Structure 1
């Protein structure tokens, strides 16, 4: 009997262990942390604040049978289909690289918005075409990788991703191009034969998704230490922290302020995922104020997802559910958040 029980226990342990390595087509999203921005954002000669500005994060990982089951029972955990997180054909590595790019781009836009508001100088330097992903079965596969930066094609310096796309698409399937690119600081040069796309036989390409990579240079210099954080959702809070360090007036006024939202170069605050989990994270950190994007729900979004609501509405519902005294403040722009902090 003892041997049978031992065998059953061993098999059960084996099944549990194996289940922890099986990946399901879902992600599990749960509350992360609220990170103080002052240690992360450093403006040369910047001013210190009495209060605290915080970015909020979520913890998200690919679901296993165990984590999927647990998420059904635990509060504030959410199961998200993988197609809602990753693009078609996107690998784990490409997803992580895309998140890093989005974070880097978000930082630069946050600097621009804060410097515009504070009347400080900056400029952009174009660095080339940034590769976000490589399509399976296309010529770039095995030659180009996500994260590479293409700088030259057929001896011509690239000045925009549109220029690169127009140049390549003017050629025919089977034509060769020579590209120069940078990977991990090392310059490389390769020839690639173009191929027609399966959904458009008359259109030739190498099979990459791309965007522009620019580097912002500001005076004073801004440094952001965000190695462990990905995605663009901290843009609004970055811009507020940078602005607060640039100017003499302390917009925190001794308060603990959290929030979320993307930021574009015009200061518009955009929708993010995981707003409910971020409200929980901010409350746990003792935040008094939480900025939530008051995004517009377009008819197309509503058609594809009838239950969708603005981030602000979702944040208010979660705040009521957890019984927090934290004020949820709707914002559409950087100036909305700034004006609220100055007036309150």
Structure 2
């Protein structure tokens, strides 16, 4: 009898352990990620940056919660939970991942443009078409186009923006046939389907979510290769690393420099999420400088959240909490970054 109970207790214990380790919970955990050396990702003129010190992009770790990781997260000061809706909205996991990949590539393109323009080096930005982010179930193009395809022409017409694409089809009657030329995994394909009525609008369309897709060409070759990291938040640090290599590598001066922030094509630095966790990651890697977006709150933002703090304020607070000696540097545009490092 005792042996039988012992076996049942062992089985129950194993079952509890399996559930604790593997049962997915309906939310995600956000925790400090890593600070990655940009010399592993960026090549300018086919050369790796091998000078002393390093520039680092910073990340937030994201994982689906499980009972044991959720309990562990409660012991961590910079851990947060987030629902799938808050994280992805109405997007599927596939669409969300595709968006993250697209945003990373756009961040790289903008970083190259800003760095080359600031350095006085030639570049050319080429519009490729519209990037397919998602397709409505009732779209006639569903099953023909795929997420990640690039539409290059409609009815033989090239356009220079997604707005121009939309304007071409929006006034055509629902049911009109249009021929779409697109790139799918490097191959050029065509499909002819009917336009549908777009819900909550008075116009017709293909029934896809789209964004502009472009590429950038430079006389001095530059290559940025990043895998398993998505989103636009590394834009500022990409720009800094590329610019410094283009101009002789005199800015870093042997220092370990981290930061975060989106980079617009006009050089403006934009806010990002999870900056407190990125401060922790940078501090762990020994960074002495951390660049943080310093975008003032609008009146509407203050009204919605009277206690709102921008990225720079949150970053300073996080550094103080972990007793870090990193210098948290506020930046509004790329020129702020260059001027600080050149001092």
Is the alpha carbon distance of 1:236 and 1:197 closer, same or farther for their aligned partners in structure 2, counting shifts above 3 Å?
same
2:131 equivalent to 1:130: yes
With the length of structure 1 as denominator, give the TM-score of the two structures: 0.92
Is the alpha carbon distance of 1:20 and 1:164 closer, same or farther for their aligned partners in structure 2, counting shifts above 3 Å?
farther
Q: What CA deviation, in whole Å up to 9, does each residue of 1:288-326 have, x standing for no partner?
A: 111111122223334444543101111111111111111
Q: Give the Å deviation of 1:219.
A: 1.8
Residue in 1 aligned with 2:330? 330
Provide the rounded CA distance (Å) in 2 between the counterparts of 1:150 and 1:340.
42
For residues 150-299 of structure 1, the aligned pairs below 5 Å read 150-200=151-201, 202-248=202-248, 250-299=250-299
Q: Which shifted more, 73-82 or 176-185? A: 73-82
Q: What CA deviation, in whole Å up to 9, does each residue of 1:7-59 have, x standing for no partner?
A: 34424533553565555443211111111112211100667533211111111
Q: Which runs of 4+ in 1 moved over 6 A?
A: none
Is the alpha carbon distance of 1:59 and 1:192 closer, same or farther for their aligned partners in structure 2, counting shifts above 3 Å?
same
Residue in 2 aligned with 1:103? 104
Is the alpha carbon distance of 1:257 and 1:198 closer, same or farther for their aligned partners in structure 2, counting shifts above 3 Å?
same
Provide the rounded CA distance (Å) in 1 between the counterparts of 2:141 and 2:305.
35
Provide the rounded CA distance (Å) in 1 between the counterparts of 2:319 and 2:77.
14
Residue in 2 aligned with 1:78? 80
Residue in 2 aligned with 1:2? 3
Q: Which shifted more, 282-291 or 128-137? A: 128-137
Provide the rounded CA distance (Å) in 1 between the counterparts of 2:284 and 2:26.
30
Q: Which shifted more, 262-271 or 294-303? A: 294-303
Residue in 2 aligned with 1:40? 41
Task: State the Cα RMSD in Å.
Answer: 2.0
Provide the rounded CA distance (Å) in 2 between the counterparts of 1:206 and 1:23.
36
Number of aligned pairs? 341
Is the alpha carbon distance of 1:181 and 1:21 closer, same or farther for their aligned partners in structure 2, counting shifts above 3 Å?
farther
Q: Which runs of 5+ in 2 are unaligned?
A: none
Is the alpha carbon distance of 1:14 and 1:108 closer, same or farther for their aligned partners in structure 2, counting shifts above 3 Å?
same
Q: Which shifted more, 248-257 or 120-129? A: 248-257
With the length of structure 2 as denominator, give the TM-score of the two structures: 0.92
Provide the rounded CA distance (Å) in 2 between the counterparts of 1:11 and 1:140.
51
Provide the rounded CA distance (Å) in 2 between the counterparts of 1:184 and 1:325.
47
Residue in 2 aligned with 1:87? 89
